[in-house]
Chains A and B, each alone.
Chain A
Amino acid sequence: MFSPPSSSSGPRPPLSPILIGGLVARPLPPSLLQPALSAAMATVNRRHPGLFERLSNLDTPVFLIDPVDLGLVFVLHADAERPTLTARRTGEGCGAVATIRGPLLKLLELLEGRTDGDALFFSRDLVIEGDTGAVVALRNAVDGTEIDLLNEVAGAFGPLAGPVRGVARFGQRIFARMAEDMEILHGALVSTTQRRVEAQGVKLRDLDAKVAELGKSARRQRTPKS
């Protein structure tokens, strides 16, 4: 089991509607989400029965999925026959072989294959801990399956799938607008600090260059002339 260190070098929660929503919903028990999660997993398993077959040599690994901006974690039991996804307040005691940590939207993009896992890792938006082999296998299994989350979830509503899809698309547009506004707000709030940090960075680089130059000239003076 892995839990985030108190001071982590990993991704910080972005200022987003998800972060605000997560804070507002914090008093509610995670179990409220369970029926929706179970229905979504059942749909995914029915539509993509081979999804976890690529992990079949790993003996049903358990993954802790930690969206850093949500205030909840998810525990995935990657059973090839009956996979389950459970929402919890923390991952303590869940027996996960590995943790995958990042902002919720990035994790969803990864799930749908709209972004590349290695690219998220290079940019440090995604942090993994524990059994890297199991994480790579899960990433490849999910990426190899063409999952369209909106259609999967809407599909669970049977004859109401069409209207649900419409409402969800409307919600996506509102959400995107809110996220943009919050990014502008975030930029305005941190711009003064950002400028100060950048100015300090320039000074530090100058000092580094001067120290390096002093080191070189000291070495030159020490080198005996032949």
Chain B
Amino acid sequence: MTHKLELVCPAGTPASLHAAVDNGADAVYLGFRDETNARNFPGLNFNRKELEDGLAYAHARDCQVFLAINTFPEAGNPSPWHKAVDDAAALGVDCVILADIGLCHYAAEKHPDLRRHLSVQASASNPDSINFYVDAFDIRRVVLPRVLSVQEIAALNKQIAVETEVFVFGGLCVMAEGRCQLSSYATGESPNMNGVCSPAAHVRYVDEGDRMVSRLGDFTINAFAQNEPAGYPTLCKGRFVTEGKTEYLFEEPTSLNAAAMLPELAEAGVTALKIEGRQRGKAYVAQVVSAFRRAVDAVAEGKASPALNLENITEGQAKTSGAYDKSWR
């Protein structure tokens, strides 16, 4: 028997929020339909009325709602980010997920009772950094960057007095969260400022007969043979020609799946598990949340984590345990 991990689940639309809540989410995280959050994709996210309705739906079913305001305000134009924090407090969200130091300060000053979590975009991965955010802005939970092994998380948790949340499923970055410039380099827009990595408007897929080519801005970033599983059109998951060979250099198209490590993560002192995928459809949300609900409940009862059978929905139709076991060392 171990402490029960909290399951924090993505919602890109009201339908996905319903799917997450109905399938057992303890908390749902979402964003406003603008550049204040790191999933600013066309047609995605919530307007204020939709958030109000979503809050009512979730709270009536004992599920919390976290609002991600986790991009970095444009210099000289902090108003949209400030308004997002003010509206979050007025609507009664359970917490805001922030990355920018200035915005943490604004939220702590203006809305001291509004619970604050530190986004993975802040990339705080050591005790000095985390303790600074806790001391300065009364941060109550830190979403850890996907760079730490389970042993490192356990050691970290012993040196900080704040809850930790870790990703357990979904897309992976090159692990320079909040600092990655690849999308900016290729398109002029980035997840950190504009809220979108590899904006869809800059992506093109071209059928070249025996292969499908993906392009981002002026760059050809990948070519998939017929029936070869595809991945997201990001530079970090592109194939590059080096020394005459065409291969993945940063990372392959693959999804994180740490379901088998839930007992170790609980043992390491983690409070909450995060599922990535606000850009995914409600079918993905329903399938992944329901699978992890079963896994979390089983682990809390001291049983082994069950097989989740999620390969059909993963990027590249492949999975990895990422940095948690650092198998490449």
Could you list which residues of chain A lie within 8 angstroms of chain B, going by C-beta atoms? 4-10, 54-55, 57-58, 110, 113-119, 121-124, 127-141, 143-146
Contact = CB atoms under 8 A, between A and B. Distances in A.
Contacts of A114: 283
Interface stretch (B111-119, B129-137, B153-161, B206-214): B206-214
B43 to A, nearest CB: 3
Contacts of A55: 42-43
A135 to B, nearest CB: 7
Given A124-B224, A146-B15, A115 B210 contact: no
A116 B314 contact: no
B201 A131 contact: yes
A129 B200 CA distance: 12
Contacts of A54: 42-43
A118 B283 CA distance: 10
Nearest to B314: A122
B261 interface: no
B32 interface: no
A19 B210 CA distance: 23
Nearest to B231: A122
Contact of B281 (A57, A115, A137): A115
A138 B43 contact: yes
Given A55-B43, A131-B201, A116 B313 contact: yes
A147 to B, nearest CB: 9
Given A117-B281, A144-B43, A146-B15, A122 B207 contact: no
Contacts of B316: 122
Given A54-B43, A124-B230, 11 more contacts: A8-B209, A10-B212, A55-B42, A115-B281, A116-B287, A119-B284, A128-B205, A130-B204, A132-B203, A136-B42, A144-B14
Nearest to B279: A118
B205 A139 contact: no
Contacts of A4: 207
B12 interface: yes
A140 B280 contact: no
Nearest to A2: B207
Contacts of A115: 281, 283
B212 A139 contact: no
Nearest to B230: A122
B201 A9 contact: no
B16 interface: yes
Contacts of A124: 212, 224, 226-230
B282 interface: yes
Those 10 A-B pairs whose CB atoms lie nearest each other, nearest first: A144-B13, A140-B43, A133-B201, A137-B43, A137-B42, A116-B284, A54-B43, A133-B200, A136-B200, A119-B313
Contacts of B313: 116, 118-119, 122
Contacts of A7: 209-210
Interface string B289-329: 00000000000000000000000111111000000000000
Contacts of A129: 204-207
B32 to A, nearest CB: 14
A135 B42 CA distance: 9
A116 to B, nearest CB: 4
A172 B72 CA distance: 50
Contact of B15 (A57, A113, A132, A139): A113
6 contacts: A9-B225, A122-B314, A129-B204, A136-B200, A139-B43, A141-B43
